[in-house]
Structure 1
Amino acid sequence: MKQVIAAVALGLGGLSLSACGGEADTTVAEDTGIPGMSVENARMVLAPVAGNPAAVYFDLTYTGDKALALRKANVEQAGETMMHEFGEYDFKVQMMEMLPLVINSGDTVKFEPNSRHVMAMDVQEDLAPGDKVNVTLTVAGGKEFSFLADVRAAGEDR
């Protein structure tokens, strides 16, 4: 509940995070209860060392009627999933768990390298470049939006 209140406060304070995006590769999305939400350029980049976490990146666009607070993500083929972002603490930039993200109608939010992303831990060992993984985003209130992300090798374009 505290996270929802914090997310609403951020939105009311005019601090919602959004970025304008250019042309994306593909749109891969399912209608799973959040009208107006779409995802483009979805990809999971595997770690260079087997057993280390993978990162999921995508461009999320929302054109629905009312603001939402994105509160968690799940990667079906991972044991644990967290949303991360980079921030400053003790005069050092470091990765940290992301607070709920307020998304207003018309926003495009990028999950990209060196910024916000979904971290997938304990990824299934049989996942390989060229596969697809199912990613589900959950907003405050419990509605979910699922999409497929292309699996890429560590050295491929992120």
Structure 2
Amino acid sequence: MKQGIAALALGLAGISLAACGETAEAPAVEETGIPGMSVTNARMVLAPVEGNPAAVYFDLSYEGERGLTIRKADVAAAESAVMHQFGEYDFKVQMMEALPIALTQGTTVEFKPGDLHVMAMGVSPDLKPGDTTNVTLTVSGGGTYTFPAEVRAAGEDR
């Protein structure tokens, strides 16, 4: 209720300024992404067999002041995506869903082959090597960070 009243007051203030011949400043655009987060070396490696999952790798750095947790990843050209990590279970190394990834100021995280990565399932068959697709990370609290990933063929450098 209070937000509605505040919005109405701001709207009326803008109208009254315009009526006096003055122009009101445009509202500030909310920053996209997550302050202090950056991603480099982003690439999506397609599966050798069409229809199988692709893997997304990248290097993430975080210099923000607030501690965050990456809780999920989405890939624009895929039906679904899951953060995976290799770990030992029942005396075997296996791929499993990754736990949320904690970030504090100065944290760097490598999403790389044989370790932490994003698996993209149901990848569009229209996506070809040389294309680019967007990857979105969602953190605790709902903030998101979106970055482009270069699409590579299965045999290319991962």
Shorter-chain-normalised TM-score: which range?
Answer: 0.7 to 0.9
- Kindly state the Cα deviation for residue 32 of structure 1 after the two structures are TM-superposed: 2.1
Q: Which residue does 1:3 correspond to in 2?
A: none
Contact 2:33 2:146 in 1 (8 A): no
User: Runs ≥4 in structure 1, deviation > 2 angstroms?
Assistant: none
Q: Which residue does 2:28 correspond to in 1?
A: none
TM-score, reference length from structure 1? 0.80
Identity %: 66
CA distance in 2, matches of 1:143, 1:66: 12
TM-score, reference length from structure 2? 0.80
**Larger Cα Rg: Structure 1 or Structure 2?**
2
Q: Which residue does 1:111 correspond to in 2?
A: 111
Q: Which residue does 1:125 correspond to in 2?
A: 125
Q: Which residue does 2:80 correspond to in 1?
A: 80
| Paired AA for residue 45 in structure 1 | V
- Kindly state the Cα deviation for residue 115 of structure 1 after the two structures are TM-superposed: 0.3
The gaps in structure 2 that reach 5 residues or longer are: 1-30
- Kindly state the Cα deviation for residue 93 of structure 1 after the two structures are TM-superposed: 0.5
Deviation sequence 1:41-78 (CA, Å, 0-9, x none):
00000000111000000000000002110000000110
CA distance in 2, matches of 1:128, 1:108: 29
Structure number with greater CO (CA < 8 Å, separation at least 6) is 1
Q: Which residue does 1:27 correspond to in 2?
A: none
Number of aligned residues: 128
Deviation sequence 1:87-108 (CA, Å, 0-9, x none):
1110000000011010111111
The gaps in structure 1 that reach 5 residues or longer are: 1-30
Q: Which residue does 1:23 correspond to in 2?
A: none
CA distance in 2, matches of 1:126, 1:53: 14
CA distance in 2, matches of 1:80, 1:73: 9
| Paired AA for residue 44 in structure 2 | M
Deviation sequence 1:5-30 (CA, Å, 0-9, x none):
xxxxxxxxxxxxxxxxxxxxxxxxxx
CA distance in 1, matches of 2:57, 2:147: 12
